[in-house]
Amino acid sequence: MASNNAQLAVIFQQMADVNQVTGGNRFKTIALEKGARVLKDFVKDVADVEPQDLLQVEGIGKGIAQKIEEFLRTGRVLEHQEMIDAVPAGVLKMLDIPGLGPKGVAQLWNDGGVESIDELKQKIEDCSLEGLKGFGKKKLEKLQQSIAFAEKAGERTNIGFALPLALAIIDVLKDLPGVQQIDYAGSLRRGKETIGDIDLLVGAKEKDAARIMDVFVGLEMVEEVLGHGATKSSIRSTDDFRNIQVDLRVVDPKHYGAALMYFTGSKEHNVKVRERALSMGYTLNEYALADKDDKTKQVETKTEQAIYRKLGLAHIAPELREDRGELALAEKDDLPDLIELKDIKADLHTHTTASDGRWSIEENALAYAARGYHTVAITDHSKGQVQANGLDDKRLVRHIEAVRKVAKKLEGKITVLAGSEVDILADGSLDYPDELLAELDVVVASPHAALSQESKKATRRLLDAIANPYVTMIGHPTGRLVLRREGLSPDMEALCKAAAGRGIALEINANHWRLDLRDTHARLALEHGVRLAINTDAHGPADPDQLPYGVLTARRAGATKNDVINCMTAAGLKKWLKSTRG
């Protein structure tokens, strides 16, 4: 089961969405959404907090506190169930359509008589919605594209949900008697941003396999057992764990290396490795690297490293196994020394309560100091982000002073930089004048609105931002949300060339919903000599834990620590930041 905090966060967000769909009080929506956000980041389980102390938490008012107490007492929130029951299930599913939102869903339901996605598709096709206010021909065409995108996306799961589930299962199974090795494999091990299902591999003797399988299918996160065999079982996780299919295979430890390589993939990489094996007189499958003419003569089986070595290849990291030239590099022992999580020593894109964050400047800085970072940049939103409490010019001036004050207080513990995540407006201008940008140590210029601009306009818009002499990096350049929103489609090569010419960085936003730059864009940036930034866009204490997703994306791009500004020494970063001005 998910934690009390996580379950309540889902409940409050659903209530907020339904309240908007049914035209409820907007202040109630705001309170519910804020409650959901707070609980996502709340460190303590609410069950362990005294009711009077809960009311002291910013964002939890009396109404939210009462619902929390009801949930802890009864396991549900009655009002939540009543609200859900009042709206057709198909209407709620329409909230999953990117770009539609609760108000659009409400209008389609109330004025258009649409009660499901299938009904919406049919009414778009027969043109019966064209007279509906606010839903002209172009709007409906975009809506049709969004539905297609959502349906395609529904076949996969965001890595931010898949990886924690895989690790949770491994954490239970790894200590079972007989388990000698255990790993997740497949696209998850390769660090892809989305996965189809989770593949787990256990190295154990046959006598221990049945007991391991029994434990696996009986885990608390199992909603349905899809198959229960001697060496392979499959389950579907509960709603709390996003209904992901998980397949577990048990193999003899002597075959573990070959099996792990095979089930990690990718299919294209495996084909190339098998072809190489055949050319050298071997055959390779999920059991072993063996003699081609006598498959009983197994050459290597136990480790991936040994198999690659026998084939005259350096070990290829899972993130690079996509048939993008990695075998040629491995043959020459010229693979990149990929960046690791421990290499990151700075976060240059974080938010505080000054805009829409959930921690103060000092709380933010001390949290990063505790992680061993030498630098953190406070980059709260600019005024264009009204819904995120963006800072107008006067507030930014005061905010800079507040950051400088904390920086002085924490001198010797961590370097605290004054920055801003500045909106790149639709016309390419920035949300603050240059004379104000000049006062900042770090300027993360990011697109947040007008994310359906056609490619040429989007490219011009981002190029104009890159040209600004005070911009340090371009944050989440396309504005996409994984499986939710496609975002901009600019000419990435043009952006990379411009960024290289200016000497600024392009960001991999590590939040698992963004991962923008995506791996292919980051690879292109490296090819053009552009430095990458890997930032978490942290809004609260839990968000720095998103960093692994950004590092995986960078590894898939072939990035080393020398390619990433967050890996620089404090002195090196200070020098680099100065070089971006002008």
Per-residue pLDDT 10s for the chain (582 aa) are 356 888 899 999 999 999 999 999 989 999 999 899 888 777 677 988 888 889 988 889 999 999 999 999 999 999 999 999 999 989 988 988 877 888 899 999 999 999 999 999 999 999 889 889 889 888 888 888 888 877 766 678 999 999 999 999 999 999 999 999 999 999 999 999 999 999 999 999 999 999 999 999 999 999 999 999 999 999 999 988 988 999 999 999 999 999 999 999 999 999 999 999 999 999 999 999 999 998 888 998 899 999 999 999 999 999 999 999 999 999 999 999 999 999 999 999 999 999 999 999 999 999 999 999 999 999 999 999 998 999 999 999 999 999 999 999 999 999 999 999 999 999 999 999 999 999 999 999 999 999 999 999 999 999 999 999 999 999 999 999 999 888 999 999 999 999 999 999 999 999 999 999 999 999 999 999 999 999 999 999 999 999 999 999 999 999 999 999 999 999 999 999 999 997
DSSP 190: T
| 181 CA to centre of own chain | 28
d(C-alpha 305, C-alpha 286), whole Å: 15
| 51 CA to centre of own chain | 33
Nearest alpha carbon to residue 298 among 312, 315, 277: 277
Q: Phi and psi at residue 348, in whole multiples of 5°?
A: -110, 20
* Largest separation between any pair of C-alpha atoms in the chain: 78
Residue 175's CB: how many other CB atoms inside 10 A?
8
DSSP 89-158: HHHHHGGGSTTTHHHHHHHHHHTT---SHHHHHHHHHTTTTTTSTT--HHHHHHHHHHHHHHHHHTTSEE
d(C-alpha 219, C-alpha 280), whole Å: 44
- Asked whether the beta carbons of 6 and 240 are under 8 A apart, the reply is yes
Predicted pLDDT at 134: 83
d(C-alpha 260, C-alpha 254), whole Å: 12
- What's the CATH code, domain 263-335? 3.30.210.10
pTM of the predicted model as reported, rounded to 2 decimal places: 0.82
Q: Where are the domains of the chain?
A: 4-153, 157-251, 263-335, 341-579
- Asked whether the beta carbons of 170 and 203 are under 8 A apart, the reply is no
Strand order, beta sheet including 181-184: 181-184, 198-203, 245-251, 232-237, 222-228
Nearest alpha carbon to residue 432 among 467, 404, 470: 470
d(C-alpha 118, C-alpha 150), whole Å: 13
d(C-alpha 29, C-alpha 22), whole Å: 11
At residue 46's C-alpha, the angle toward residues 42 and 52, to 5°, is 105
CATH topology of domain 341-579: TIM Barrel (3.20.20)
d(C-alpha 566, C-alpha 559), whole Å: 12
Nearest alpha carbon to residue 260 among 331, 182, 325, 204: 182
Predicted pLDDT at 101: 84
Burial of 115 from C-beta contacts in 10 A (0-12 / 13-18 / 19+): middle
Contacts 24+ apart (CB under 8 A), 133-139: 133/107, 134/104, 134/107, 135/107, 135/108
**Residue entry with tokens 């949930």:** 71
3-class SS of residue 559? coil
CATH topology of domain 4-153: DNA polymerase; domain 1 (1.10.150)
In sequence order, which ranges of 201-266 are alpha helices (DSSP H)? 206-217, 256-264
User: How is residue 221 written in tokens?
Assistant: 């996160």
Tell me the one-letter amino acid at 239.
D
Strands 245-251 and 415-423: unpaired
- What's the CATH code, domain 157-251? 3.30.460.10
Residue 161's CB: how many other CB atoms inside 10 A?
17
User: How is residue 60 written in tokens?
Assistant: 């939890």
Q: Is it true that 4-153 and 341-579 share their CATH fold?
A: no
DSSP 245: E
Burial of 426 from C-beta contacts in 10 A (0-12 / 13-18 / 19+): middle
What is the Rg, in whole angstroms, of the alpha carbon atoms belonging to the chain?
26
d(C-alpha 530, C-alpha 184), whole Å: 32
Predicted pLDDT at 154: 65
* Element holding 474 (H helix, E strand): strand 473-474
d(C-alpha 274, C-alpha 268), whole Å: 10
Q: Give the list of residues 6+ apart from residue 487 with CB closer than 8 angstroms, or none.
A: 451, 478, 479, 480, 481, 516
d(C-alpha 108, C-alpha 490), whole Å: 32
At residue 83's C-alpha, the angle toward residues 78 and 86, to 5°, is 125
- Asked whether the beta carbons of 479 and 451 are under 8 A apart, the reply is yes
* Element holding 446 (H helix, E strand): strand 442-446
